[in-house]
Chains A and B, each alone.
Chain A
Amino acid sequence: MEILKIEFLKLRKKTRIWLGPILVFWLIMIAYPLTVELLQDRLQIGFFSVLWIAILISMMLATEDIFTEDYNDGSLEQTIIQESSFQVGIGLKVFVYWFLIGIPVSLLSFIFSFGTTQNFELSLPIFPLSLISSYIFLNIFVLGNSLSLNKGSVLGALVTMPIALPVLIVLGKGMTALQFDINFESFILLLLGSLSIIIVLIPIVVSYIIKAHLE
């Protein structure tokens, strides 16, 4: 619990880190209708694709410097020496980021969906879908950022993008299922299943990667 408090304390003073990605998400969602002629039915065609891509990009930005500061000021070394399980610390850190960025973004997704489709039943499932997918994306990009620690976040995003693409495919498929009302729950379950594996595996792998960086 102490780790959670510490992470919150740090992020409270660094608004840019969590507000930035939320604003970028907002910006993309507002920019989208401006680039399409403002006819309601046309808007809806590409809306969900833009939504998922906006989530992907905001999560990519959210993880931009997730370890850089701790690496540069020596906090990571201290954490490793103390041996208070490093993996759990990483997992909690990702959780804090999701709590501060993923949840607001998911709420916004729901609001924008409802605003665009005017269809409550279609928009409501967008909330859990966004919650789960933003958490998955965060984990994936955290992996990328740990790999390219200190080398800029573009490289990290590039190397882990192939891992994020299948999630986009599943999300696209899921939306079709939702719109035609066929077997939508199975997509939620599939994403939840992947998330539960990722939540455990990524912090373990990331802890090894960070140790390799510190050597």
Chain B
Amino acid sequence: MIKKFIHQFASPKTFLLQVERSYSFIFFTSLCIYVFSIVWGLLFTPEDFVQGNSYRIMYLHVPASFLSQSLYIAMAVSSVTYLIWRVKLAAYLVIAIAPIGAMTTFIALISGSIWGIPTWGTWWQWDARITSTLILFIMYLGLISLHNSFSNYEKADKLLSWLVIVGAVNIPIIKKSVDWWSTLHQSASITLTEKPSIDPVMLYPLIGAIIGFFGLIVCLILMSSKNQIFIREKNKSWVKDYV
């Protein structure tokens, strides 16, 4: 029952048509939200009492860091879906997300480094969060190189899914272990359960930036999975008709 539903819903063809229909809407909406929030955040919010203007890089840093981990979780969910229900689309998604995950993690690391220079006086510190983000980045690279080293797609999909799942088990462990190091990084300012410790004036544009950035990344993923579908199903008649 579930299997049938998933297979129907997740046929690459249906997916592609849905993407075609909604892509431009998602893209322009999130672009507007992101640009609006950035402009708001950069031009119309006051300087930070301690950090001056440098804190404004958080409109890039925070969304990127947030997504670097969320994307991994998304990959893990897709991997489980693929291994249990053999949904091909899920396998395409896993490999479509990997490079984008690596990219956002890289952005998070670089923007964090830049932010670190004026505020901490150093661009790199072997601190808990930075280290775990770096490890995450290496994991993404490992996933990509593993998938690239096989010419048989189905084999590559299965191996990749297993590695993603083992890696997902490992993420909390990485966090836990590096948390034991004394840390320089501030703790999260926004959590779901507690009242934000950030001033509302800065909070709203930040939330906007996160949502906008999220939407833009989703668009990237849609494009990249569309690519995967074309590569993998190029011999299917509907793809030939489509192109």
Interface residues of A (CB under 8 A from B): 143, 147-148, 151, 155, 158-163, 165-166, 169-170, 173, 205, 208-209, 212-213, 215
Contact = CB atoms under 8 A, between A and B. Distances in A.
Interface string B143-174: 10110011000110011001100110010011
A155 B155 contact: no
Contact of A212 (B142, B146, B155, B176): B155
Nearest to B162: A209
A169 B181 contact: yes
Interface of B: 135-136, 138-139, 141-143, 145-146, 149-150, 154-155, 158-159, 162-163, 166-167, 170, 173-174, 176-178, 180-181
Given A148-B146, A212-B158, A163 B166 contact: yes
Contact of B166 (A169, A205, A212): A205
A212 B166 CA distance: 16
Contacts of A161: 138, 142
A148 B149 contact: yes
5 contacts: A155-B146, A161-B138, A166-B170, A212-B162, A215-B155
B139 A162 contact: yes
A159 B77 CA distance: 19
B135 A162 contact: yes
Given A155-B146, A158-B145, A161-B138, A212 B174 contact: no
In the A-B complex, the 3 residue pairs with the closest CB atoms: A159-B142, A166-B177, A212-B158
B174 A147 contact: no
Contacts of B146: 147-148, 155, 159
B142 A158 contact: yes
Chain B binding surface SS class: helix
Contact of B163 (A147, A165, A169, A215): A147
A162 B138 contact: yes
A67 to B, nearest CB: 13
Contacts of A169: 177-178, 180-181
Contacts of B138: 158, 161-162
Contact of A170 (B143, B162, B177): B177
Contact of A151 (B149, B162, B176, B181): B149
Contacts of A212: 155, 158-159, 162
Contacts of B159: 147, 209, 212-213
Nearest to B179: A169
